[in-house]
Structure 1
Amino acid sequence: MAAADARIGVVVITHNRRAELDRTLRRLRELPEAPAVVVVDNASTDGTAEAVRRDHPWADLVAGRTNLGAVGRNVGVERLTTAYVAFCDDDTWWAPGSLTRAADVLDAHPDVAVVTARILVEPGGREDPIVAELRDSPVRGRAGLPGPALGSFLAGASVVRREAFRAAGGFHPRLWLGGEEELLAADLAAAGWELCYLADLTVHHEASSQRDARRRLQDGIRNTLWFTWLRRPLPAALRRTGVILGQLRPSPTTAAGLLAAVRGLPWVLRERRVLPAHAEARFRALEAAQRRSTARQYRG
């Protein structure tokens, strides 16, 4: 094993994907950075925790009793003491050298809280369609950023500055999973942090077939609407809501997502905190791209 890069660790969340997690951990174990790895098992019932203990005793395992969704990442961050934390899903893995490069960039740019990598879809190594949108981001950050400024990020392909992540509260437990990054990104921007895309970081993604597509769609619709009304000013919230509703195809799943969003309105109104102008400008800049996007839409 190479000498560990003490600046950066990895948090992997998983649920009932024992085979995929095994592949990811084997890939992470081979990295030249030899990062500390925390696995947060979100109450799997397929023997995942037992397999990690048996086959990957070098990883720090947190075997949860309930499925915390994205909040499992918060748990993992608290287990690490590294300055930077790379997130990894159980069906993604970081390319050799990318973690060191991310740490170098974050060292050199102390106002950057998140860097997001290029995503290659496996098998085949083709770019995920979202990469073009990250590369051509219309968001304007400060001059001299190491890559295009972003309004939000993709958790399974990003490295965060631990102090910024913790200060912003991490991923909100109310959102659980599905579009959970947008609220955290907004709060980081409101606090003055930058987020950017780095083309020379690479994450591989071989999508698992073990996924509840209907649940992800339902929660994604709900969370996108909740974020919109939690943080966007009224005119922007109305515009964005109109775009979201216009993209949805009628189905029981989309109806359930909308109903869940409506049921959460009392909480949203109590917690509503409109973004300061500099942070809202990032999301306003994304509006045209969001209308055109085919990479990330909740259609049903």
Structure 2
Amino acid sequence: MSPVGLSVLIVTYNAGRDIDTCLELLAASRIERPYEVILVDNASTDGTPERVAQAFPRVRVIAERTNHGFAGGNAVALAHATGETILLLNPDAFLRDPEALPGLMAHLDAHPELGAVGPRLTFPDGAHQVGDAGYEPRPLSILVHAGGLSGRFGLRGLYLASRQAGGRQALDVDWICGACLLLRRSAIDAIGGLRSPMFLYGEDVDWGCRLRDAGWRVAYLPGIAVVHLQGGSGSTRSARWLDGLAAIYRLRNAGRALSSPAFFSGPLRLGFTLRALAYGVAARLRGQPDLARKAEDMRRFAGHLRSLRQ
């Protein structure tokens, strides 16, 4: 197979109709270079691979009989990719702006020191989706995040706060969410590929930190927006992301002071509990159901942290 300029890697698992929208908007993007789309399906039971193969003949579909997880599925796709630039794209990440992907590629091309770039992720209503980029899980970033101080007084928390993601200038970060992540192939090679000890959640944090370890910069472009459903802004959010984050924290802080799981979970549990109280009071005073849902999410996250191994 002849090499192309860009390989788009998509991993699906019971993706429903989201993947149709994803692929349609990808095709409508103004990509002025040869590209390929490789879709690895992680043993879906809803007919995703068959439907995609029929409706999108340009897409190379690899139907796996085993669920390899997010990192494992992308590793399978990467083995078949020929591009020098690699885009990881979730099936529920929508390139509604046809200039979004060209903008990401142009920035990566213009800065050879960058190993990866990513956009600001938003919910369908345009609200910033916290968790689209951030910094290495360290004791200080845990405390900053738990205290709700990300972006204040120059402090860096686990995630970029919305106040940090509201500008136009590129920001140096440690990692970018894998829902829409553009990488240089040589940078991927430098970190040994796209495998990760995490099955689901935390792989993108792992990759970004390893890129920084290898001397590459990682850039977040808040001026480019991509819609990411993530279940929708009003739905219940899974707490499983905390498991992946805890695993990354243990991995990145092994042998260091304050590296115990208790230090990871304790400050976050307190922070979530206080936020649950604040959102609950605000929901009652303002009569806003979305604040009540946020309060319930915070309570659930705090409860989940109690189940982590101490």
Question: When the two structures are superposed, what TM-score results if normalisation uses the length of structure 1?
Answer: 0.71
For the pair 1:198 / 2:196, whether they are aligned, the reply is: no
Residue 167 of structure 1 and its aligned partner are, at CA, apart by 2.6
Matches within 5 A, 1:94-133: 94=95, 95-122=97-124, 124-130=125-131
Where 1:234 maps in the other structure, the secondary structure is coil
| Residues 87 and 253 (structure 1), Cα distance of their counterparts in 2 relative to 1, 3 Å cut | farther
Q: Cα RMSD over matched residues? A: 3.2
Residue 132 of structure 1 and its aligned partner are, at CA, apart by 9.6
Partner of 2:20: 22
Aligned residue pairs total: 245
Partner of 1:84: 85
Partner of 1:275: none
Residue 186 of structure 1 and its aligned partner are, at CA, apart by 1.4
What is the alpha-carbon distance in structure 1 between the residues aligned to residue 106 and residue 256 of structure 2? 40
For the pair 1:217 / 2:256, whether they are aligned, the reply is: no
What is the alpha-carbon distance in structure 1 between the residues aligned to residue 131 and residue 75 of structure 2? 25
Partner of 2:184: 161
Question: 187-196 or 239-248, which moves further after superposition?
Answer: 239-248
Query: How far does the alpha carbon of each residue in 1:118-158 deviate from its partner, in whole angstroms, 9 at most, with x for none?
Result: 12311x3333245697995856xxxxxx7111022101122
The amino acid of 1:237's aligned partner reads S
| Residues 257 and 91 (structure 1), Cα distance of their counterparts in 2 relative to 1, 3 Å cut | farther
Work out whether residues 115 and 198 of structure 1, in 8 Å CA contact, stay in contact via their aligned partners in 2: yes
Question: 126-135 or 156-165, which moves further after superposition?
Answer: 126-135
Work out whether residues 8 and 99 of structure 1, in 8 Å CA contact, stay in contact via their aligned partners in 2: no
Work out whether residues 113 and 164 of structure 1, in 8 Å CA contact, stay in contact via their aligned partners in 2: yes
Residue 229 of structure 1 and its aligned partner are, at CA, apart by 1.8
Partner of 1:296: none
Work out whether residues 12 and 39 of structure 1, in 8 Å CA contact, stay in contact via their aligned partners in 2: yes
Matches within 5 A, 1:115-264: 115-122=117-124, 124-130=125-131, 147-208=170-231, 217-218=239-240, 220-232=241-253, 234-238=256-260, 239-247=263-271, 249=299, 254=304, 258-259=308-309
Work out whether residues 86 and 99 of structure 1, in 8 Å CA contact, stay in contact via their aligned partners in 2: no
Query: How far does the alpha carbon of each residue in 1:141-184 deviate from its partner, in whole angstroms, 9 at most, with x for none?
Result: xxxxx711102210112211122123313444431111221222
| Residues 111 and 6 (structure 1), Cα distance of their counterparts in 2 relative to 1, 3 Å cut | same
| Residues 7 and 202 (structure 1), Cα distance of their counterparts in 2 relative to 1, 3 Å cut | farther
The amino acid of 1:15's aligned partner reads Y
Where 2:86 maps in the other structure, the secondary structure is strand
Percent identity of equivalent pairs: 25
| Residues 127 and 226 (structure 1), Cα distance of their counterparts in 2 relative to 1, 3 Å cut | closer
The amino acid of 2:223's aligned partner reads D
What is the alpha-carbon distance in structure 1 between the residues aligned to residue 133 and residue 117 of structure 2? 16
Work out whether residues 133 and 176 of structure 2, in 8 Å CA contact, stay in contact via their aligned partners in 1: no
Question: When the two structures are superposed, what TM-score results if normalisation uses the length of structure 2?
Answer: 0.68
What is the alpha-carbon distance in structure 2 between the residues aligned to residue 228 and residue 131 of structure 1? 18
| Residues 253 and 38 (structure 1), Cα distance of their counterparts in 2 relative to 1, 3 Å cut | farther
Where is the helix percentage greater, Structure 1 or Structure 2? Answer: 1
Residue 242 of structure 1 and its aligned partner are, at CA, apart by 3.6
What is the alpha-carbon distance in structure 1 between the residues aligned to residue 302 and residue 224 of structure 2? 39
Where 2:122 maps in the other structure, the secondary structure is strand
The amino acid of 1:186's aligned partner reads C
The amino acid of 2:89's aligned partner reads C
Where 1:203 maps in the other structure, the secondary structure is strand
Partner of 2:68: 68
Partner of 2:31: 33
| Residues 242 and 126 (structure 1), Cα distance of their counterparts in 2 relative to 1, 3 Å cut | closer
Query: How far does the alpha carbon of each residue in 1:67-89 deviate from its partner, in whole angstroms, 9 at most, with x for none?
Result: 11112112222222212111111
